[in-house]
Chain A
Amino acid sequence: MLLSYIVKRLLQMIPLLLCISVIIFVVIQLPPGDYLTTYIRQKESAGTQVGADEIAALKARYGLDKPVYLQYVDWIWGIISRGDFGNSFQWDMPVAVKIQERLPMTLAVSFMTLIFVWLVSIPIGIYSATHQYSVGDYIVSGIGFLGMSVPGFLLAIFVIYEVYNHTGIAISGMFSYEYQMAPWSWGKVMDMLPRFAVLVLVIGIANTAGMIRTFRAMMLDELGKQYVTTARAKGVGEKRLLFKYPVRMAIIPQISTLAGTFAGLVSGETIVSKVFNMETCGPMMYTALITQDMYLAGSFLLITAVMVCAGSLLSDILLSLIDPRIRFGKVVE
């Protein structure tokens, strides 16, 4: 039954993604101008003139003279038929190559951030709910509010400044110059680790703070419910009581928002990564949008859309596994 449900959901995703891809393509084309203009201005800034005729010729060459719907059809057919996402104007390279370069590091950062957030916020959330209005709860909540209200990019700038001031190391990029192009080695990993950790920390901090708050609220809700009192009256141990029911309930909102979390895996760290000049997908997508490198930008957006769909499917499946009310809902009727 679950399998047929998944297949049905997967089939529903096809028209949905097609619609999204059309919207993406249209939106990317909305602002006036295109990539060529940037290219031309670069030429000019170094003192070369570009005639109107030459501009027209360049347009024809990049296919920008075709109507938008034909550009779209070419693009989407390339993706479906042969996994070709088109060429990046900026890099003069296939989009697929650029995405492959950055995706592994991006996913590593995002998953580490996710794990960091969960590992930190769930225990703290449980602690502050079970010790409501204690000194510890106030301290944790205070830090949490601070974390929520300080924007990540500001924290990033602050971190760069402090690290530079105290160590002379300027965090810009995932590796220092010496290891930038070196093949993977122990030295390279050690060079990367502090930068990686700083990135994960800065991105994760706001989410952690937010999650502590929701977790605490959910827990408090549950802890006051009758089944908890009943269980306690029947002599269920405190630990077992806590983890068997209220914690499970408190996790539900996190799972039901997996769709958003998944989208964030690809592009959630954009601004912070941009400040740190990290070689992840976010800054590249940002630049692609700004310079109207339409196939690169479109492909990132499309991948994000796929992630959202996959995330919402996954969250539905997980919810039915974790929450018996959803699983048995139909059976009871």
Chain B
Amino acid sequence: MKKLSMLLVLVLVAALLTTPSLAEGTTYTQAPMLDAKVEGGELPPVAERLPEEPLVVAPGVVSYAEYFTDYQIGKYGGTMKSVRNSATWDGWLWCILNEFAIESVSGEGKDFYGNVFKDWEVSDDFTTYTFYLRKGMKWSDGEDLTTEDVAWKFEKDHGNEQLTSVWPTMLRTGNKADGTPCTLEVLDDYSFKLTFDGAYPGFILLCASNGVYDYFVAPAHYMKDFHIETADEAELTAKCEANGYSLDQWFSLYELYDNTAWDCAAANQIGCPTLGPWMTVSMDGSTATFERNPYYWKVDAQGQQLPYVDYMTSTYCVDKEAIAVKILGGEVDYTYEWIPLNEIGLFAQGAEAGKYKIVTKTLLHRTGADLYMNFTYEDENWRGVVNQYDFRAAIAYALDNAEICDSVYFGFGVPGDNYTITEYNPEKAGELLDGIGMTKGSDGWRTYPNGEPCEIELAYSQWMTTYEPTAVLVAEYLRAIGLNIKMKFVDNDLMDTLQYANDLQMSINFSHGPVYIQSTADYQPYKMAANYYYYWLNQGATGEEPSELLGTWFNDYLYSCYGVAAEEIDATHQKQIQFLKDNLLAIMPVQDIVQPCAVANRIMNFPTEGGYNLDDCRAGEDLWINE
């Protein structure tokens, strides 16, 4: 098998998009806050801190040029203010601080460019990927980034069963849970090869959507002091004990000090080398502070080292209302997804006093409030009907999607023609139910075909502001066709627990797959049919054998976008959506929804004119403060 790759002609797909380069003779410059450190000998000069070929950020690189109205070369300085509602996780910061191995412009999954990895090559059978690092690129503590860091990640981290119990799906053939893990071959200090045992054309897309650098590299020079195989035993024991662990729990200590994407606002990140534009420097009560990474490897078109902004802070707020108050008070530079549609008027009113502007993008990376009908809920009568297309179609006909658009989304959305039947026809819905034997009993409610009473629970949470009003309307529509719907409010944090446990009958929730080209496998199948999904995921070890319909969905559609070449992704995604619609696996009443957000007036270079909301978050390094 392995010999095959030698015969292959390596095709240079590299950098579908060519990133700009600097004019001959450009000298690099740095932020004034670093001058003293360079003069004092604490830091080497900026030219020595940058890689040989830094990534040049200009319109069209991180975000498409047409998404900006007024892109300018920035001025250094200032502090950007963020808020979060989770102890250690800040959505905006997460997007900003995480550098992906490969990126696609504006996160739209089309034009790929080398980010942490400068370049890549793909064999024409899509089994071998060769990646090239940037020569001279450094971690935030000044150590070189080399393939030693790649080898460390694959061998000592992914390869260690105590640290990584399950080899990441992304690094298995076809992004499948049962795929074979890839093998790593280090070619030299700056290039390495990953080999899969089958074609995996979607790997680059995954690198861009899911491939945060910590999937591929870890600072070996720093982490070796935390690893059982390489650390000095006495020192490691002392470190473990200082953190309340015993030596045989060393992996917990390792995880604690590893700079992983998810803990971007956690105290233990202080001191861990990073490749992001800012590094965690303090965690003071509720506020985490981040300072510029002096070794950041991107520059602007004039050779100024990025980021422009000196510091970032993230302040913990107890709930979304507290965040709203901070936004109104002008204490937040970018609001991420914190503004609910139904309160947009309040925020528009407060814009002048709070010194921000409301931005409404055309694309959102998630759906709004979808209706899931659990195919594997533990009730024989329910299963008997929900597995029939006519039942699901009846539900789709019963929903007045246009009214949902108006009253839940205030017109910021249209009926979900791509995903469901948008015709509002309660009579037809009634006929379909009659047709499968669900006729009305003496009390006016429909019964199951065998005459037993039918009572359906519709669960919803308040995680997003659209959930509750959608649930109320859906319940009304379904009651109107004679289905006895019981609404069930579930705490936000409990929703998924119950869903994982197959305990919800019908529920209101969201997914990414239908709308976000970079996450086409994310239809959250455990909401559709938890037990079927587990069976398929764990190769029969748990759950129940999927019905023919769901089996086809899992096997032929769910991961299909990762099995095709880049130019076929759109078409494949369309097929996925069509299958979803044809079979009504879940009902998405609304499409093209938006999420308004607020951006402080002082923040410059913000892509406000189109694309995904997520795009706003990705380019933190070229934002600057105009005051």
Contacts and interface: CB of A to CB of B under 8 A. Distances in A.
Interface of A: 31-34, 37-49, 51-57, 60-61, 84, 87-88, 90-94, 101-102, 160, 164, 168-173, 176-177, 180-181, 274-277, 279, 283-284, 286-287, 290-292
Contacts of B353: 168
Contacts of A181: 282, 284, 287, 289, 313
Given A37-B500, A48-B210, A286 B524 contact: no
Interface residues of B, number: 65
A208 B417 CA distance: 59
Interface string B86-97: 111101001000
Contact of B317 (A88, A168, A172, A177): A172
A275 B322 CA distance: 7
A82 to B, nearest CB: 9
Given A180-B287, A277-B317, A43 B521 contact: no
Contacts of A88: 87
Contacts of A93: 266-267
Contacts, number: 147
6 contacts: A31-B494, A47-B512, A177-B81, A275-B321, A276-B322, A287-B318
Contacts of B329: 164, 168-170, 172
Interface stretch (B15-23, B135-143, B219-227, B534-542): B534-542
Nearest to B533: A52
Contacts of A44: 496, 522, 524
Interface string B497-524: 1101100000000001000101101101
Binding site of B, secondary structure by majority: helix, strand, loop or mixed? Answer: mixed
A199 to B, nearest CB: 14
A47 B514 CA distance: 12
A84 B244 contact: yes
A38 B315 CA distance: 20
Contacts of B87: 88, 90-92
Contacts of B282: 181
Contacts of A102: 285
B556 interface: no
Interface of B: 81, 86-89, 91, 94, 165-166, 169, 177, 209-210, 244, 251-252, 255-256, 262-263, 266-268, 282, 284-287, 289, 313, 315, 317-319, 321-322, 325-326, 328-331, 353, 365-366, 491, 493-498, 500-501, 512, 516, 518-519, 521-522, 524, 534, 537-538, 542
Contacts of B512: 47
B315 A51 contact: no
Contact of B497 (A37, A51, A60, A169): A37
Contacts of B165: 53-54, 56-57, 60
A39 B263 CA distance: 11
Contacts of B498: 32-33
Given A49-B522, A51-B169, A92-B266, A274 B319 contact: yes
Given A33-B497, A170-B331, A92 B267 contact: yes
Given A91-B266, A101-B285, 10 more contacts: A32-B498, A33-B496, A41-B493, A43-B262, A52-B534, A52-B542, A54-B166, A168-B353, A170-B328, A172-B322
